[in-house]
Structure 1
Amino acid sequence: MKLITTTLALGVLACAATAQTSVQSCNRTVTFDAPPQAAVSNDVNLTEMMLVLGLTDHMVGYTGISGWNKLDAEMTAGVAALPELSEQYPSKEVLIGADADFYFAGWNYGMRVGGEVTPETLAPFGIQVYELTESCSHISETDAASMDDMYNDLRNLGAIFGVPERAEALIAGYQEELAGFLTDLPALDAAPRVFVYDSGEDAPFTAGLYAMPNALIEAAGGTNIMNDFEKSWGTVGWEAVVARDPQVIVIVNYGEVTAEEKRNFMRSNPAFAEIDAVKNDRFVVLEYVEATPGPRNIAAVKTLAAAFRAQ
């Protein structure tokens, strides 16, 4: 009887050790036989998702940060033990050379449609890919961006790396923190009209229906004036911005042109003089890592919600 019991126990342990995990990644179902041991993440926001889940011991590096962004002290400490394998998007050779077995990226977050690095091009080298949920609109039909997109990525990463309880605890904590903050705020008489100014002077690059700022603005009680722009991020005409007369302008801060320079450009251009947000100097700055899907979306909603209610 003891021998039978022991044999059964060993069998259960063996099954548990080889249990497969499947998650939905855009329009693909991806199956993992075991947690990845040589992961690479692209971009500051995706890398921070790995950090908050405590997954650095499963990583061999990160890519796509210093080419566009500067790490703050918290992020610098978090990735101190990891090399940046590429300052911008990695080549296939970079990932293969790192002996990576997993790449956490997204469409226009480390991969381009039809580009050199995609789930299909990496598969022959044993590198599995999980795609950022918010980026799926580039390759398939999706709903409008939602806070649930970020929670979904944390949940799926938790499943992939065998730490589902850790992921669920994080998600529950974020949801509770945000709900408590919003409950204590005064109600808005009406949703303020909001424009997201990422970059560009001849024509602005902005957030459409499928970009994370659309979800952040709605969660904070506002309305993205470009929520009928059925794209993630893209370029629109200034005429449309002027016609829709935003009451608040959200500036995304990153790259060589500072947030203050973007604000000054709008305030000094006579074409924008009658825009409500410009007349009343109602500008809000979000860092890139806050405006893209990741743990700092909670702070971003708080910043926006407070700004929408400021006198």
Structure 2
Amino acid sequence: MRLACLALLLSATPALAFPVTVQSCNREVTFDAPPARAIANDVNLVEMMLALGLRDRMVGYTGVSGWKTLDEELRKDIAELPELSAQYPTREVLAGAEPDFFFAGWNYGMKVGGEVTPETLEPLGIKTYELTESCIFVGPKAKSSMQDMYADLLNLGRIFGVEDRAKELVAGYEARLAELTTGVNRATPLRVFVYDSGEETPFTAGAYAMPTALIEAAGGVNIMDDLDKSWATIAWEPVVDRNPEVIVIVNYGDVTAEQKIAFLEGNPAFANIDAVKNDRYVVLEYVEATPGPRNIRAVEKLVAGFAAD
């Protein structure tokens, strides 16, 4: 009787629909079966994998501790996984782990024309899925939006055969985002500058970087949203000229958010910037400012920071 019931249950369970084909930047990638030995590069991409419950499909990760972006919340979740490379992995490092899947992005573990690309990994039996935000480096792309992060989660869901889980996760994020931004005034958006790093010249977010989408969702406008780049180094002059009302500080690495704020407030050249005069800063952790599950928390921080007097 038990065997008959088990057979009936198994027959009622739908088989995973493979092969599946997903769009990865300017490529289509087909998977004949869900990956079983995955590697993700960078803290935000690792968190996407964890949010989908895919830790048991991973053999390691790369590109986290070398940038000092690993926090305690994530450290617990990946304690048993090896970090195969502190920063960008080499082709040899990846080959040595014998993965069948690499989740990375352009300037998130891969560089155009570099040693590690989808084309160089394919002969090793490693299929690559590229972070949507980074696609601007290999072809045309729309301006950054929350849909970039949702698309990656949904594509990963299809790749790993957990599509329902991915859809449920994205629906939850969309509902929470709608709740957070109810009543946000977008008619007169606050002028916002993203300060990642650099003193002589600042490294900031352009039109194709995730903070632009986060700022817009929270009712602001990135003063550098006409910068036809993702993340880039610019001069200080346009920052002063465009006079941001709020400065978003990206916190990671050896220079703390407090030190970045002290630099801004201690430089006479910035004394007339509204954000500096009024002490209006919002600190986002690196993992909140790059595409991933903590983007919703980032919007929550921005909404609160923009509303503060």
Normalising by structure 1, we get a TM-score of 0.93
Query: After the TM superposition, which residues 192-203 of structure 1 pair with which residues of structure 2 at under 5 Å, given as runs?
Result: 192-203=190-201
Q: Which 5+ residue runs of structure 2 have no aligned equivalent? A: 1-9
Query: In structure 2, what residue type is equivalent to 1:83?
Result: P
Query: In structure 2, what residue type is equivalent to 1:120?
Result: E
**Alignment-derived partner of residue 118 in structure 2:** 119
| Corresponding residue SS for 1:67 | helix
Contact 2:207 2:225 in 1 (8 A): yes
Matched, 1:299 2:297: yes
Query: In structure 2, what residue type is equivalent to 1:302?
Result: E
Change (3 A) 1:306 1:188: farther
**Alignment-derived partner of residue 78 in structure 2:** 79
Change (3 A) 1:169 1:202: same
| d(CA) in 1 for partners of 2:216, 2:144 | 10
Aligned-pair distance for 1:187?
3.5
Query: After the TM superposition, which residues 43-192 of structure 1 pair with which residues of structure 2 at under 5 Å, given as runs?
Result: 43-183=42-182, 185=183, 187=185, 190-192=188-190
**Alignment-derived partner of residue 259 in structure 1:** 257
Aligned-pair distance for 1:254?
0.5
**Alignment-derived partner of residue 7 in structure 1:** none
Aligned-pair distance for 1:100?
0.7
Contact 2:194 2:204 in 1 (8 A): yes
| d(CA) in 1 for partners of 2:246, 2:105 | 29
**Alignment-derived partner of residue 274 in structure 1:** 272
| Corresponding residue SS for 2:200 | coil
| d(CA) in 1 for partners of 2:292, 2:184 | 26
Contact 1:188 1:309 in 2 (8 A): no
| d(CA) in 2 for partners of 1:167, 1:20 | 18
The equivalent position to 1:223 in structure 2, one of 201, 216, 221, is 221
Aligned-pair distance for 1:24?
0.1
**Alignment-derived partner of residue 26 in structure 2:** 27
| d(CA) in 1 for partners of 2:86, 2:156 | 23
Q: Which 5+ residue runs of structure 1 have no aligned equivalent? A: 1-9
Aligned-pair distance for 1:182?
1.6
Aligned-pair distance for 1:257?
0.6
Aligned-pair distance for 1:207?
0.2
Contact 1:194 1:223 in 2 (8 A): yes
| d(CA) in 1 for partners of 2:184, 2:22 | 39
Aligned-pair distance for 1:73?
2.3
| Corresponding residue SS for 1:136 | helix
Contact 2:154 2:166 in 1 (8 A): yes
**Alignment-derived partner of residue 209 in structure 1:** 207
Percent pairwise identity: 66
| Corresponding residue SS for 2:99 | coil
Contact 1:211 1:233 in 2 (8 A): yes
Query: In structure 1, what residue type is equivalent to 2:32?
Result: D
Normalising by structure 2, we get a TM-score of 0.94
Contact 1:40 1:59 in 2 (8 A): yes
Query: In structure 2, what residue type is equivalent to 1:78?
Result: D
| d(CA) in 2 for partners of 1:188, 1:211 | 20
| d(CA) in 2 for partners of 1:119, 1:284 | 36
Contact 1:18 1:33 in 2 (8 A): no
